[in-house]
Structure 1
């Protein structure tokens, strides 16, 4: 999908310094969309994503900050809105996936995951929805994950947060569909990092397609959900996993 169908629109893509987030940022830029690039720590990777967005002919803004921090979200949203006026497409891609046995988990361990995976999508949606509603057009794309929806081994806060994101997305889709805003979830399967040179045979054995996915596979799905053609799709979870059971 390379047509300039998103010309004049702006996307905020959290966790877009590399891998899936970067692929989404570049795919949207190729459709004419300006991109707010976000990362929590690796500023150089985010700047590289921004350079690639600009090479694609779109405008880019880098906003560094942890989306799990309320003040950081407020500051980044204000900077994005000051630069572009509105954010029309919100992609909540950032995640934190530590592994720890449940009985060893502290409140801080739990909060660190839930703040990024669930509370951040609430805060970013709250920040950008007013502009979407005013325009009568908007897209919210959240993320789950095949393992999280199954029940992540030694990852209770991940599974809990991602199920919560699914509920949040359903609620947003119901409330804001009449106002021209869609809200959907992408649930990736086993995706190979952009730096990997080959698939892991142990991982492909359970995938009917016989290969791991690529960041571009997720980006293509996000690009479709962000496009004008997807205006009648809302409140859905789309699995991108090569046929693996969810």
Structure 2
């Protein structure tokens, strides 16, 4: 019989009935919907759906030939497209609150060393996603549209469809937002012992090749956008390896740390 007393379970007495979990989940979903709705209502008043679309289309319009405008090929597109952008912007602005509700729901079921892992990952993944979207909007769009227009024949008048442009923007935002999550994926895989840090270091060459293949698939067929996606992914892979070593050292369970 061991003389060492067993470590007290931090979660002892915190169990809740399944129905109570469902009720809490319902309440938090309602809060999320209300938050997104409030932000959408504020954005509808100012600056308004039309102005939001103009802001989103600004990088493309700036590189269209003088006198060219965007067009709507569907009868309801002038109404539906700005509305979709309004809801997208409202969700992105409310995203920190949404993630807070997710965290508040799962946190009671986590040990203290698990909270040390999850909370920083939630915050950092949100920040990195916004950084990817901002990088795409402020840098990549301008370079891509400038590059594409430089190849357009003078005999062609560019008049992009607003619905097609929205689809393109959402695809690019999602691609760059997820690409900037590379450090999070690396940290999680290393922390869960799916793969070791040493193995991650030895796989640098394979990841570089994979990054350029992914960039070639998800971005337009131009060198600018492909490099703009692949190079940050490679740099963020290195950041992930560095961060993984810190997380593994500081988020161990108490018994593992003693061992």
Structure richer in strand, relative to its length: 1
TM-score w.r.t. length of structure 2? 0.23
From the two aligned structures, give the one with the greater helix fraction.
Answer: 2
With a CA cutoff of 8 Å and minimum separation of 6, indicate the structure with the bigger relative contact order.
2
The alignment's TM-score, normalised by the length of structure 1, stands at 0.24
